Amino acid sequence: MLFQHTAPDQIAVPLALPGWQIREQRCLADGTLEIDLVSQALRACCPRCQHWSHKVHDTRRRRKADRPLGPHRIVLILYKRRFRCTVCQRPFTESDHICGWRRRTTARLRQQIGKQASHQPIAHVAQTYQVGPRFVTACWEQVVQARVGRSLAETAPLPTPRWLGIDEFARRKGRRYDTISVTWTTAKSSTSAPDGRWSTPAGCWNAWRRLNGWKR
């Protein structure tokens, strides 16, 4: 599916959202690009009885933020349809694979924010995308979890590294500090303790020993 910019210098770039069709697009005064999308599926599966239904009950508009296109902010207007199941006679909303259940941003936007937060200050990324620092932190944690292949929870099972580096970093300068441990041989983050609970190397090392069951 191609997105066509309707400005005088018209361009066409791939929208990369298979299964969705563009109904209309607008360029607002502030440079924001609004794109109306509707699913191309003719039916949906009922989450209760698992039967397929093609009877549309109603349609509702949902605004979703997408990753920007150059200097332009992208806002997707999803026309989400509610179907009525012919078996259980109850309405249900078609699934949203672009953003996820009750999400206001697309999955690819959250991934892009998380990647930038890996090498830029969280406050700077939040200001760039006009979101809150907490949201940027959540995106960053999802990217890190995907990289290491497991949760960053303090109680998660940890491997036994040969060389362990411990350092403290600031999520919010002067107010919130976290302690991170890094495996030097692989240069990957192993654990991250919030709110400075491992504020000293000794405290972090003792917690590491307890998580790995070391007796000495």
Provide the mean pLDDT of the chain: 77
* 93 backbone φψ class: left, alpha, beta (φ>0; ψ -120 to 50): beta
Identify the residue with better confidence: 214 or 172. Answer: 172
pLDDT of residue 4 exceeding 70, the answer is no
Q: Which of 141-150, 173-182, 183-192 has the lowest mean pLDDT?
A: 183-192
pLDDT of residue 155 exceeding 70, the answer is no
CA–CA separation, 35 and 59 (whole Å): 16
Q: 100: closest CA among 91, 92, 110, 113?
A: 110
DSSP string, 110-125: HHHHHHHHTTS-HHHH
pLDDT of residue 190 exceeding 60, the answer is no
What ranges do the domains of the chain cover?
A: 2-104, 105-149, 153-212
pLDDT at 26: 87
CA–CA separation, 43 and 55 (whole Å): 8
Q: Are 126 and 133 in contact (CB under 8 A)?
A: yes
pLDDT at 6: 47
pLDDT of residue 2 exceeding 70, the answer is no
